[in-house]
Amino acid sequence: MIYPTRRAIAVMAAGGFLGLIVGVVAPTLWMVAASWVAVILGLTLVDAVLGAAPRDVDLALAAPSTIGMAGDAELTVGVSFRRSPPLSAHLALETNERLSLDPERLHLRPSRGETKAHARMTPLRRGNAEISALWVRWTGPLGLTWKQLRQRTAREVAVIPDIQAIKDEAIRLFSREALFGLKAQLDTGEGADFHTLREIAGAMDTRAIDWKQSARHRKLLGKEFRIERNHPVVLALDTGRQMCEPLMGLPRVDRALNAALLLAYVSLRMGDRAGILGFDARPRLFTGVLSGVQAFDRLRRLSSGLDYTTEETNYTLALTQLGAALQRRSLVVVFTEFADSTTAELMIENIARLIRRHLVLFVVLRDEALEAVARREPITADDVSRAVTAAALLRSRGIVIERLRRLGAHVVDAPAGRIGAALISAYLDLKRRDLM
């Protein structure tokens, strides 16, 4: 694209104004104004022809494929003019609402070969950000025309939760639970997976004696078991309307996703398998059940595509498809939100169906602000109304949680800031009790 600069327009307007004055003073010289306009138009066309044309420009973008919510990253744009590079050029990047750039516009002085410009990317929202196009413009040698090029890039950048914080929290919890760095034999004696035969010692349970092997070896031998591994752990995240409401300055779904990735990292480190299901009106993502610590990068990459929605959650469709996809007994961790016991009826019905075959861990993000309203001393009539409404909502939530417990679900009910630690403690407790 080629269009005139402010200089060309100003010079042409000034010449036309002077020509008008000359025409008024000396009518016979009216041709001066027309000649001036013609000269400026001619110079503008010459300026458009001289120098580098848009087809002579090559643009290259180097940007990371992922970026964490807690940090920023650098991107690099390379600009190459195949002939007659201008004295200066302006560069801009076209992004969606999930990224901000500093600076927004780049000023560079091209030279022979490739000239590079750098900018900092800062994430604004979790999800798939996009650098959709690169813009560059420069003037001709006379400064009368702008030459502009827009090149589509469609470069996606996944904005993911703060993974380093998740790993640090996981290591801290491992250390507190005395599981990180211990030898494998310390896990023996609590599970159902046969490990080895050993001679009966004083503290060993006599019910573990293997009489056939004892008779063969002519000494009392007992079976030693270890905690089973390779359990499927499926993290089902509701991304519907109610989960997108803010809780202590952050959407519920983001807090749930941070806790889910923390549990995925811990379970993969402990030898289990992990997968993520994201759903609202219909299932949006199912990663399958993956194994190995190296699978964590794939899980975090795929989960970054779980977007915020305003749709109502369809528990029947999502949990039915999940039950059909799981071929063996699994730990299903459900992250969701409900308004009251009436709207939760369908959710309870589908979770009850899931409990018949799988172990269900239900995660509730406690709303401390709502609890504070219910506890606050009422002074005015409005305070009384708010306290009564908050108490009714809390009572309904308690009823739903109690019904889930009676159905056989395990419930984690903790404040949003401590949900990760509470979830890991519940997971480790289930493994110790050999319920998985």
Please compute the mean of the pLDDT values over residues 115-135 and round it to a whole number: 88
Check residues 135 and 182 and name the one with the higher pLDDT. Answer: 135
In degrees rounded to 5, what are phi and psi of residue 260?
-65, -40
Please compute the mean of the pLDDT values over residues 3-31 and round it to a whole number: 76
pLDDT for 101-110, tens place per residue? 888 888 888 8
Helices and strands counted in the chain (H then E): 11, 21
Total length of the chain: 436
Check residues 25 and 288 and name the one with the higher pLDDT. Answer: 288
Check residues 182 and 300 and name the one with the higher pLDDT. Answer: 300
> What's the whole-number average pLDDT of the chain?
83
Check residues 328 and 343 and name the one with the higher pLDDT. Answer: 328
Check residues 340 and 432 and name the one with the higher pLDDT. Answer: 432
Rounded-to-integer distance, Cα 358 and Cα 21, Å? 91
Outline where DSSP puts E strands in 171-272. Answer: 188-199, 221-226, 232-238, 246-247, 250-251
Rounded-to-integer distance, Cα 203 and Cα 7, Å? 94
Q: Which residues pair with 331 in a beta bridge?
A: 233, 359
- Token pair 């941070």 in the structure block, residue: 258
Q: What is the CA radius of gyration of the chain?
A: 33
pLDDT for 258-270, tens place per residue? 899 989 998 998 8
Q: Which of 3-12, 141-150, 337-346 has the highest mean pLDDT?
A: 141-150
pLDDT for position 274: 95
Please compute the mean of the pLDDT values over residues 301-323 and round it to a whole number: 89
Residue 422 reports pLDDT greater than 80: yes
pLDDT for position 401: 92
C-alpha to C-alpha distances, 152 to 61, 129, 216, nearest whole angstrom: 11, 15, 76
Rounded-to-integer distance, Cα 365 and Cα 370, Å? 12
pLDDT band (50, 70, 90) for residue 322? very high
pLDDT band (50, 70, 90) for residue 406? very high
What letter represents residue 323's amino acid? G
Residue 417 reports pLDDT greater than 50: yes
pLDDT for position 410: 95
What one-character-per-residue DSSP string does 283-351 give? EEEE---EESTTHHHHHHHHHTT-----SPP-HHHHHHHHHHH--S--EEEEE---SSTTTTHHHHHHH
Q: Which residues pair with 108 in a beta bridge?
A: 89
Q: Give me the residue spans of the domains in the chain.
A: 2-49, 54-160, 169-226, 229-432
Check residues 185 and 382 and name the one with the higher pLDDT. Answer: 382
- Token pair 């458009």 in the structure block, residue: 48
CATH architecture under which domain 229-432 falls: 3-Layer(aba) Sandwich (3.40)
Please compute the mean of the pLDDT values over residues 121-140 and round it to a whole number: 88
Lowest mean pLDDT among 41-45, 199-203, 331-335, 429-433: 199-203
pLDDT band (50, 70, 90) for residue 214? confident
Check residues 111 and 119 and name the one with the higher pLDDT. Answer: 119
Rounded-to-integer distance, Cα 432 and Cα 436, Å? 9
Residue 400 reports pLDDT greater than 60: yes
Q: Cβ neighbours of residue 349 under 8 Å, at least 6 residues apart?
A: none
Q: What are 337's two structure tokens? A: 């939100």
What letter represents residue 24's amino acid? V
In degrees rounded to 5, what are phi and psi of residue 190?
-120, -10
Residue 369 reports pLDDT greater than 90: no
pLDDT band (50, 70, 90) for residue 100? confident
Rounded-to-integer distance, Cα 209 and Cα 221, Å? 6
Helix (H, G, I), strand (E, B) or coil at 358: coil
pLDDT band (50, 70, 90) for residue 353? very high
pLDDT for position 403: 93
Q: Which of 77, 83, 49 is nearest to 61 (CA)?
A: 77
pLDDT for 169-201, tens place per residue? 666 666 555 444 433 334 444 444 555 667 776
For helices 295-303 and 252-269, the axis angle rounded to 10 degrees is: 170
Rounded-to-integer distance, Cα 63 and Cα 1, Å? 26
pLDDT for position 217: 80
pLDDT for position 351: 93
Fold of the 54-160 domain: Immunoglobulin-like (2.60.40)
The Cα angle at residue 386 between residues 383 and 387, in degrees rounded to 5: 85
The whole model's pTM is what? 0.69
Please compute the mean of the pLDDT values over residues 375-403 and round it to a whole number: 89
Lowest mean pLDDT among 77-86, 116-125, 140-149, 196-205: 196-205
Burial 242-278 (b: 16+ CB within 10 A, else e): bbbeebeeebbbbbbbbbbbbbbbbbbbbbbbbbbbb
Q: Which of 206, 325, 209 is nearest to 276 (CA)?
A: 325
